[in-house]
Amino acid sequence: MKRNHIIDTIIDNDLIPPASAVILGVSGGPDSLCLLHALSSIADMYDLVLVPVHVNHMLRPEAYEESRHLEDICERMDLELRIYEASCKDVAGELGISVEEAGRQIRYQIFDEVAAELEESGVPSDKIVIALAHNADDQAETVLFRLIRGTGPHGLAGIPSVRMSEGGYLIVRPLLNVERADIEAYIRENKLRPNIDKSNDENTYTRNRIRNELIPYLEKNFNPKIKDNLRRYAGLAYMDDALLKEIAMSDYFDSVEISGEKEEVVLNIKKLKDNPPSINSRIVSMIFELLRLEDCATFENVSAITGLIYSDHPSAGIDLPYGIRARREYDRIIFSAEEELIKPDESIAIYPRVIMAKDFIPDEDVPYAAFDFDAFNEEYPGRIGEIELRTRREGDYLPMKKGSKKIQDLLVDSKVRKTARDSILMACIGSEVLWVLPSEYFAGEQEKTKGRFSPKFHITDTTKRVLLIELDETI
């Protein structure tokens, strides 16, 4: 194996434990292709299983050709590329966020879904690592971007080299101390052919303008080492922020109560009134993360909640995004959703039928579920007519590769809010769930578009007849 600065950096930073399954987020651009090639060079030495994942955001026509080019690269490395498609524009419109933020949310959801699939297949969760290719220049640009937007000390800490994903999996950034110029040199040295996203040269997005205009201007007119200084500042801010967060963490665990039944988070503030705002603001920020409102943890929102702690008024309330309200009741602040129960779509019906395996050519744009009919019929002989579409009932379960999972637990793990859980439709036979239909209320992109399937009667190369469950469009 040919060693160089980048491979030595990856080995020396010790972020990827030996014998790990490494999910790599790859666009095919210089950064991610450099990381993919470098990790493939040391995979045998460190017993790594590489799982490259590519997300087509459906923003540019050439993105499909770039996906095929990346697939060819992975084939030459003897790696299987997982390709996912998701419309950033649609998600951004639905959530009222920027296209950039929508893309980020989609990618992290997909990484977590792939990690969960690996865990279900038998890979221990502590052996699953999500590796991303952010570099030192990205770090400098991020700090400047957040400073311009008006972030606090936590935001100025920049991109962390290690953190946990929302699904509880380790995210690492092995190239975070590697400059873009070194990555480009690695690409040339190894004769790699990365995808080049021409939109990076366009100044439509704020981050592009910072990279292409602001930083070159600052380097030329103020300080040629501005990127070094920004990275150094991020390191100092990270150390200070980590210390304050550690202090706040103790009070957080002593003061926060979670009610699963009522779906409420209660903050007991009696002991917090003597804390400085720097500690309490971090406790409030952690509650935002707990409520999956981290993108709404702006200075204004956090300050408003922190103000309730010090207020002399025993009752007050603040409306937060996504239907969440924080209300002060004497020495408690209660965070809860104030929404009506969402009803199931009564216009949806299913059409179960049996076809020969050779005739099984499903339309990938239409939701469906498919199973080995003979395996199903062996357990439920002559009972295909008993498959019904309904909402959850007590005792419902979805078979898993190992054991089974209660539907209640599945919906909680999939972050379906309580008010929407009785709107989720399922194809069932008795208490056994064959297919949880797709729904916009799932957090994961895969569950939103395809749903969740029982692996119990999965189709194999020996399947002769297929039990196909489709949506009945005649209703």
pLDDT at 3: 56
Residue with tokens 């929407």, as numbered in its chain: 420
Give percent of the chain with pLDDT exceeding 70. Answer: 94
What are the residue ranges of CATH 3.40.50.620 in the chain? 5-136+154-223
Is 205's pLDDT higher than 60?
yes
Separation CA 51–CA 79 (nearest Å): 7
pLDDT at 295: 67
pLDDT at 155: 78
pLDDT tens-digit profile of 11-20? Answer: 888 899 999 9
What are the residue ranges of CATH 3.30.465.60 in the chain? 260-337
H or E element at residue 171: strand 170-172
Comparison of pLDDT for 454 and 199, the residue scoring more: 454
CB 131, CB 169: distance < 8 Å = no
Is 349's pLDDT higher than 50?
yes
pLDDT at 442: 86
Is 1's pLDDT higher than 60?
no
CA neighbor of 137 nearest in space, from 222, 225, 75, 49: 225
- In the structure, what pLDDT confidence band is assigned to residue 475 with cuts at 50, 70 and 90? very low
Is 376's pLDDT higher than 80?
yes
Is 340's pLDDT higher than 70?
no
pLDDT tens-digit profile of 64-80? Answer: 888 899 999 999 999 99
Give the CB-side neighbour count of residue 329, counting CA atoms within 13 A. 9
The chain-wide mean pLDDT, for the chain, equals 88
Q: How far is CA 267 from CA 87, 175, 245, 287, 299, in A?
A: 37, 39, 17, 9, 19
The answer to whether the pTM exceeds 0.85 is no
CB 253, CB 271: distance < 8 Å = no
pLDDT at 316: 82
pLDDT at 75: 94
Could you tell me which CATH number the domain at 260-337 has? 3.30.465.60
CA neighbor of 438 nearest in space, from 430, 322, 429, 427: 427
H or E element at residue 470: strand 465-471
- Lowest-pLDDT range, 205-214, 387-396, 462-471? 205-214
Is 180's pLDDT higher than 50?
yes
Long-range contacts, 389-392 (Cβ 8 Å, 24+) = 389/348, 389/349, 389/350, 389/425, 389/426, 389/427, 389/428, 389/437, 390/425, 390/426, 390/428, 391/344, 391/422, 391/423, 391/424, 391/425, 391/426, 392/421, 392/422, 392/424, 392/426
pLDDT at 150: 72
Pairing of strands 432-436, 426-429: antiparallel
pLDDT tens-digit profile of 127-171? Answer: 999 999 999 999 999 999 888 877 777 778 889 999 999 888 999
Separation CA 335–CA 49 (nearest Å): 42
H or E element at residue 183: helix 180-189
pLDDT tens-digit profile of 79-121? Answer: 999 999 888 888 777 766 778 888 888 999 999 999 999 999 9
pLDDT tens-digit profile of 211-222? Answer: 999 999 999 999
Give the CB-side neighbour count of residue 193, counting CA atoms within 13 A. 9
CATH architecture for segment(s) 5-136+154-223: 3-Layer(aba) Sandwich (3.40)
Where does 348-401 show beta strands of DSSP type E? 350-356, 368-372, 388-390, 397-399
The dihedral built from the CA positions of residue 237, 240, 243 and 249, taken in this order, carries a sign that is: negative
Number of Cβ within a 10 Å radius of residue 213? 11
Query: What are the backbone dihedrals phi and psi of residue 84, each rounded to the nearest 5 degrees, phi first?
Result: -125, 150
- In the structure, what pLDDT confidence band is assigned to residue 201 with cuts at 50, 70 and 90? low
Number of Cβ within a 10 Å radius of residue 258? 11
Pairing of strands 82-85, 49-56: parallel
Is 444's pLDDT higher than 60?
yes
Query: What are the backbone dihedrals phi and psi of residue 164, each rounded to the nearest 5 degrees, phi first?
Result: -100, 145
